[in-house]
Structure 1
Amino acid sequence: MAVLSKIRQRSILLIGVIGFCLLAFIIGDIINSGGFGVTKNVGSVNGTDIPAQEFMQSVNNMQTRQQGISATQAANNVWDYEVQKVLFEERFDKAGLRVGRDHVLDIYAQVYGQYPQFMNALGKFDKAKFNEFLVNLKTTNPQQYQAIEKERPSVETSAKRQLYATMLKAGFFTTNVEGQANYQLENDKASFDYVFVPYNSINDDQVKVSDEELTAFMKKNEKKYKAEASRDIEFVYIENKPSATDESEMKKSIDGLLVPSVKYNDETKATDTIPSFANATNNEEFVNVIAGSEMKYDTTFVSKKQLPLDHAEQIFNLAPGQVYGPYTQNGYYMATKMVARKPGTSVKASHILIGYKGSQTPDPTITMTKEEAKAKADELLAQVNANPASFSQLVAQNSVDKGSVANGGVYDNITPNQMVKPFNDFIFNKPVGTTGVVETDFGFHVIKVLDKYDGVRIATIAQKIQPSEATTDANFTKATKLEMDSREKPLADLAKELGYTLTPVNGLGANDENIQGVGPQRAIVRWAYNKDTNIGDVKKFDTPQGHVVARLKNINEKGLLPLEQAKVSVLPLVRNEKKAALIKAKMVGATLEAVSQKTGSAIALAQSLSMANPMISGIGPEIKVVGKAFGLAAGKTSGLIDGEAGVFIIRTKAVEKAAALPNYSSITARVNAQGRGGVETRLATALKDDAKIEDNRFEFN
């Protein structure tokens, strides 16, 4: 009692201390968030902030519009949009660019241009009709009108961007001199003899490359080898897969349905005898209720081609009442019962469609009248009857149904009412081999009934093969133990002892989500970038399919490529430089013959190569070597050339200049179109590379 009395006496003090701590915690959080009333920004572009609240709202809106997109994917998409928006707005302001109502309506035309209510008599978008729609909408549906108006700034930005891109493309041009130069690059030919000693003639282990040499190589061209901050991890994945025991138990449950059984009924307080699957009279109740099948009962008749491929023959040949199984299919244990069989439930037919003006033909350019189309169809029918083998050729030459031309006009496994009624009635009511002309809203069809298939009605019990609770509990225990044991022993050694695969993942970006082998795992990326996570730390992550035990292997700060990545892309280049020096020491001689004798490499011939396609047969592209051949006079020998695949010495045989053209306008136009096509993308990349961007996305997703 004395103790309780003391606690009561000090309760006000305790409450005060707790309250002070809570207040300190809240104030600290406010300070870290930027202060009272200040919303932290997701980032900034050239000093222009991207507010967090607006950014997250845009992310939510994108997730609402695009079902299935993850929060990280949406955040990355919105970020890219916001960055480009700021960068291009800067360009618009510098250019003094403004857009008028017509420019905005051009954007709306791209969105709503196919809506019939906004088209004129010529089938074109009518700006007046769209304006009228907006005026009426303001009165009849103010909420929808406000939603459209809310998007107007984005529409105006799109209009500005299109106008700016048009201006840029108009300023990009190719001269006739450039067109002629491009023609010569493609058509001037050089032939030369060469001696080639490949880099792979020296084993990699004969050439040592240090980390310092890799770094020095990258520093020579920092822009080419620059990299954002990244993390390297390695992980063990313990997947929740069904064990052999789980599969055996699942099979037993299916087997139990194939024989009669007795079960106690809680409602009647008596036992019920449940028939076997084969003897069940109410197949729907047995499949859906008694068996609790994950594949519900369906009364549709299906063809043999629609049955599971590996089991179709056995199932299709069952007699009514017979059961096939259990068998496995796509991760399920299944048993299938033949319920009924019916002839001619699906049809194989081929057709030639002749459209006419006014029909619902997929080709709007057709000018043929209905009478002309009918006469054409009758003529084709006569040809088909006279020479049945000509059908597929006649399809290719005449049919406007482009979807079936590649198949010779054939549609297979047509089910009732899949086609329009006149077509449907013909193929289902006529015997195999019948030909005829049928009119539908699409035109006139020259049809041949090729085959008819029997259909079967089946009942299938399907239970997904899943890991049991015991299996998932055991996997959880294994993963937890692996995480704990890694504090005393390297994860790589533990994985090897337990027979697990240790999977490396290099170059994880701060805003990445997917991890190869386990899919979207944003929590792992966040952990790898957490300031409290150190190299060597190990953590377990639970996923819907199992458990990931991850180890942070390396922290790569922003700058040059991490050494692990450099060893993939840069190491071969540095190694080849060293190999080239060793090879050159052997390639002694002033002539090809002398070098060939010294190295043992034969003299070979490269014939008629162009600068546009410098592909040496059996070696690959060698632009430097081919370029040297064009620069040498006939009969002259080069020095040693460091190529892509090895070291060369060449002797030019001939350089053949392409015949001059009367004009180069077509080539100039092609090169110009190619250059203009990439202007906007190249500009966006250049603006981003030159911008000062602060990216805090990581803190928000």
Structure 2
Amino acid sequence: MAVLEKIRSVQWLLFLALVLLGIGMIGFLVPFDAVQALLGQGNSQSVGEVDGTSISVVDYQTALQTRRDLFNYTNNQSLETEVWNDLIEKNILTDDYMALGLDVNQEEFDEIRFGEHISPYMQRTFYQGGVTPEAKENWRNTFSQMYNDEVGPGRKNYEGYANVIVAKRLREKYNTLVERGIYANTLEAKYEHTSGQEKVNIDYVFVKYDAIPDSVVTVSDSDVRAYYNQHKDDPEYRQQKGRNIEFIKIPVEASQADIDAINATQQAVADEWRTLEDDSAWVAGQAGRYIARSMKEKDALTEGDKALFAAGVGNVVGPYEDGGVSKVAKIVRIEELPDSTVSCRHILLKSENKNDAAEIEMLTARADSIKRRYKAGEDWDDLCKRFSEDPGSASNGGVYENFPRGQMVKPFENYCFDNPVGSIGAVETNYGIHLIEVTGQQWTSSTAQIAEISVPVEASTATKKGAYNSASDFTINFNNLEAFRAAADTMGYAVTEANNLRQGASNISTLRNASEVVGWAFQSELGEVSNPILIGNEYVIAALSKVMEPGTPPFENVEEEMREEATKEAKAEYYLEKLAEAANLDEAAQIAGVEVKTGRNISLKNATVPGSGASQEPQVAGLAFAIPSGSMSLPIKGEAGVWVIAPTSDIIAAEEKDNYLDEQDQTTTRMRSGAANRLFNAMKEGADLSDDRQ
């Protein structure tokens, strides 16, 4: 009876255990998002909002996983950024697509994948090696195989790719409509010409704000606060969601004692290995440490690998450190193996339209001209820097070394493999015209088969524990921003700032794979100090120094900038009043303590005063054209300082033209450039976008 009474007294615990066990079983059998829905969470959890429409955690995570399964992203940040932007785009632009009747039918879908007009997205993402007939056929077969695989993952992958390709195509078509809808008329073209050609000359007195001591004016805290109240909603101060942190790194690295112990162990291995006549059985016993690898002699770049080739076959070398690994190794054999590679250098002249025969002819002629200059004695590297439009190689002389077949587009590759060393010629590819010089060819190479015993040079358990204890003690003892800064300074840790962190970022400042640090920053309070976060071989300790939420910034976030601007405004008012007393430029110069200078050929288009050291000054340029020659302006509050100007010439008129077609084309091109992105950014701003991802 006593046992039964005991059971009755704790029966509520047994019931709770059964409930938890049941939920655990559900977790194994039911997807996570479904469990969330059962518990009443599901779609109520949001990662953001677009124009009042919530983006749920489930939708976001599902989209991430789908895209991750389809493409190889170099890092999570790239994946998360693209998926997030695509979800925003879908929410903002879908109604516009429908209203405009934008669609992608099956015929167009086939055309943009492997027809005559491959879409830009397909070219970037799928045809990275170049759009060739062979590549098109490969992709046609690949998509067909995926589509016909109804049992395996093929059909699902096909639909995933199709959704992405169609979405990207709709955006391309939308962008094209936006850009083609922008047009510069004749009047705008004429203004473009006139504003650049009309000139005026002035004498001026210019007092730079930076040259005026702060002590000249008095700016109180209330003045700064007043300036803030007046300007806090200006666009340049609009705040984006972000965080500022400061962090230190405490390395977790092998101590000298650790290194000595590893070297002693490896030395014993090397000594034993040297005594063995038949080491096959011994090597078999080195499981987990033994590595067999091959290396071409031309690739032996480290001191250890060079020593291996110098020692020859059968001689044990080491221990030596290579890339954080202690190695003992020997060459088992060396053999000559096929190794078809070539080296070249090239100058790329890009084409805007590969189907434009006139443009290709012009680029070919330019390549021939560069070739003649090179043969006449001009330096290739200099020619490459001046003319090549290949961003990947222009800075190093256009060099590509030891590449095999299949790595370059076919025409480029064929020229390098099919022509002898020293050949120079022009080759056309999808990118434009390449002027290529073949600099080397290799058909075989000495290749060593290497046996290697490797042990990572890393901290021992005791050293790792010591590093963690040091990091943990730091966070416990210095757990606010002020204490963090003072302790880091006293203890000699370098403090690194990482400002304007965005949610989802994985790389910050000098840290890679820092998503855990970023996640902490967006979940913490101002001034908080993190626990030690292990990234690679370092413990990172961060302190949250600033919190920025979207919209109008709080005073403390922009106090420094506002004080600087309030001081600048006070300096301007001070000199506007002083210079107003001057009867001529000489008096103005005397009051300001500067010299009268001359500015020539000022135009409205550039709005700069040559020789002044100031950038754009639209008010100064405008008044230079408005004031009659021989007259002096009142003091002008400019962007970089206070000015007094006196035009010394009448307006130098622009040359009249019969038409302004060139200016019309140039203006239209400039207006169209980036217009679609500017429009979409404005739409995002108007959609009251919130990003609550962690």
TM score, norm. by length of structure 1: 0.70
Distance 1:408 1:517 in 2: 30
Secondary structure in structure 2 of the residue aligned to 1:56: helix
Q: Is the 8 A contact 1:254 1:335 kept in 2?
A: yes
Map residues 149-164 of structure 1 onto 2, 5 A cutoff.
Answer: 157-164=167-174
- 1:606-638 Cα distance to aligned partner (Å, 9 max, x none): 222333332532513132323322222222222
Distance 1:423 1:309 in 2: 29
Distance 2:345 2:35 in 1: 75
**1:482 maps to what in 2?**
474
**2:88 maps to what in 1?**
83
User: Are the structure 2 counterparts of residues 193 and 241 from structure 1 closer, same or farther at C-alpha, using a change threshold of 3 Å?
Assistant: farther
Distance 2:646 2:440 in 1: 68
Map residues 18-167 of structure 1 onto 2, 5 A cutoff.
Answer: 36=40, 39-40=43-44, 41-71=46-76, 73-95=78-100, 103-108=108-113, 109=115, 110=118, 144=154, 148=158, 157-167=167-177
1:173 aligned to 2:183?
A: yes
Counterpart residue type for residue 216 of structure 1: N
Map residues 475-624 of structure 1 onto 2, 5 A cutoff.
Answer: 475-487=467-479, 490-530=483-523, 533=525, 535-536=527-528, 538-561=530-553, 563=555, 566=558, 570-587=562-579, 588-613=581-606, 614=608, 616-617=610-611, 619-624=613-618
User: Are the structure 2 counterparts of residues 651 and 235 from structure 1 closer, same or farther at C-alpha, using a change threshold of 3 Å?
Assistant: same
Counterpart residue type for residue 537 of structure 2: Q
Q: Is the 8 A contact 2:345 2:439 kept in 1?
A: no
**2:246 maps to what in 1?**
234
- 1:82-128 Cα distance to aligned partner (Å, 9 max, x none): 11122112223444556655555554442699999xxxx999999xx
Q: Is the 8 A contact 1:418 1:424 kept in 2?
A: no
Map residues 618-697 of structure 1 onto 2, 5 A cutoff.
Answer: 619-624=613-618, 625-654=620-649, 655-697=651-693
- 1:252-304 Cα distance to aligned partner (Å, 9 max, x none): 4555556x34xxxxxxxxxxxx317xxx7789999998698787543x4424x
Q: Is the 8 A contact 1:295 1:461 kept in 2?
A: yes
Rg: which structure is higher? 1
Distance 2:20 2:405 in 1: 74
User: Are the structure 2 counterparts of residues 405 and 42 from structure 1 closer, same or farther at C-alpha, using a change threshold of 3 Å?
Assistant: closer
CA RMSD for the aligned pairs?
5.7
- Tell me how far 1:175 sits from its aligned partner: 0.7
- Tell me how far 1:45 sits from its aligned partner: 2.6
User: Are the structure 2 counterparts of residues 68 and 240 from structure 1 closer, same or farther at C-alpha, using a change threshold of 3 Å?
Assistant: farther
1:183 aligned to 2:193?
A: yes
Secondary structure in structure 2 of the residue aligned to 1:601: coil
Aligned residues: 620
**1:374 maps to what in 2?**
none
**1:269 maps to what in 2?**
none
1:201 aligned to 2:211?
A: yes
- 1:482-504 Cα distance to aligned partner (Å, 9 max, x none): 12212599222332332223334
Secondary structure in structure 2 of the residue aligned to 1:608: strand
Unaligned runs of 5+ in 1: 262-273, 354-361, 367-382, 397-401, 428-433
- Tell me how far 1:600 sits from its aligned partner: 2.4
User: Are the structure 2 counterparts of residues 64 and 570 from structure 1 closer, same or farther at C-alpha, using a change threshold of 3 Å?
Assistant: farther
Counterpart residue type for residue 171 of structure 1: G
Q: Is the 8 A contact 2:207 2:642 kept in 1?
A: yes
Secondary structure in structure 2 of the residue aligned to 1:236: strand
- Tell me how far 1:142 sits from its aligned partner: 8.1
- Tell me how far 1:602 sits from its aligned partner: 1.2
Secondary structure in structure 2 of the residue aligned to 1:539: coil
Q: Is the 8 A contact 1:635 1:652 kept in 2?
A: yes
Q: Is the 8 A contact 1:238 1:475 kept in 2?
A: yes
Secondary structure in structure 1 of the residue aligned to 2:639: coil
Distance 2:280 2:577 in 1: 84
Distance 2:22 2:355 in 1: 73
Distance 2:693 2:244 in 1: 20
Secondary structure in structure 1 of the residue aligned to 2:43: coil
Secondary structure in structure 1 of the residue aligned to 2:458: coil
For structure 1, which segment, 508-517 or 170-179, has the greater mean C-alpha deviation from structure 2 after superposition? 508-517
Q: Is the 8 A contact 1:113 1:124 kept in 2?
A: no
Q: Is the 8 A contact 1:168 1:679 kept in 2?
A: yes
- 1:418-464 Cα distance to aligned partner (Å, 9 max, x none): 9999998998xxxxxx9999xxxx9xx99998999996959687655
Q: Is the 8 A contact 2:632 2:646 kept in 1?
A: yes
Distance 1:133 1:415 in 2: 25
Distance 1:569 1:506 in 2: 15
Distance 1:31 1:414 in 2: 52
For structure 1, which segment, 339-348 or 644-653, has the greater mean C-alpha deviation from structure 2 after superposition? 339-348
Secondary structure in structure 1 of the residue aligned to 2:531: strand
Secondary structure in structure 1 of the residue aligned to 2:599: strand
Q: Is the 8 A contact 2:342 2:417 kept in 1?
A: no
Secondary structure in structure 1 of the residue aligned to 2:253: coil
Counterpart residue type for residue 486 of structure 1: F
Distance 2:302 2:148 in 1: 59
- Tell me how far 1:134 sits from its aligned partner: 9.3
Counterpart residue type for residue 502 of structure 1: V
- Tell me how far 1:529 sits from its aligned partner: 3.4
Q: Is the 8 A contact 1:59 1:71 kept in 2?
A: no
User: Are the structure 2 counterparts of residues 389 and 169 from structure 1 closer, same or farther at C-alpha, using a change threshold of 3 Å?
Assistant: closer
Q: Is the 8 A contact 1:228 1:557 kept in 2?
A: yes
TM score, norm. by length of structure 2: 0.70
User: Are the structure 2 counterparts of residues 608 and 340 from structure 1 closer, same or farther at C-alpha, using a change threshold of 3 Å?
Assistant: farther
Secondary structure in structure 2 of the residue aligned to 1:656: coil
Counterpart residue type for residue 666 of structure 1: D
Counterpart residue type for residue 252 of structure 2: N
Distance 1:216 1:677 in 2: 36
Q: Is the 8 A contact 1:193 1:653 kept in 2?
A: yes
Distance 2:596 2:93 in 1: 56
**2:367 maps to what in 1?**
none
Distance 1:526 1:228 in 2: 17
Unaligned runs of 5+ in 2: 27-32, 347-353, 359-371, 384-389, 430-435
User: Are the structure 2 counterparts of residues 585 and 336 from structure 1 closer, same or farther at C-alpha, using a change threshold of 3 Å?
Assistant: farther
- 1:38-93 Cα distance to aligned partner (Å, 9 max, x none): 63354443344434433322100222233345555433322211111221122234
- Tell me how far 1:664 sits from its aligned partner: 0.6
- 1:385-419 Cα distance to aligned partner (Å, 9 max, x none): xxx998999xx9xxxxx999999999877999999
- Tell me how far 1:474 sits from its aligned partner: 0.8
Distance 1:678 1:490 in 2: 47
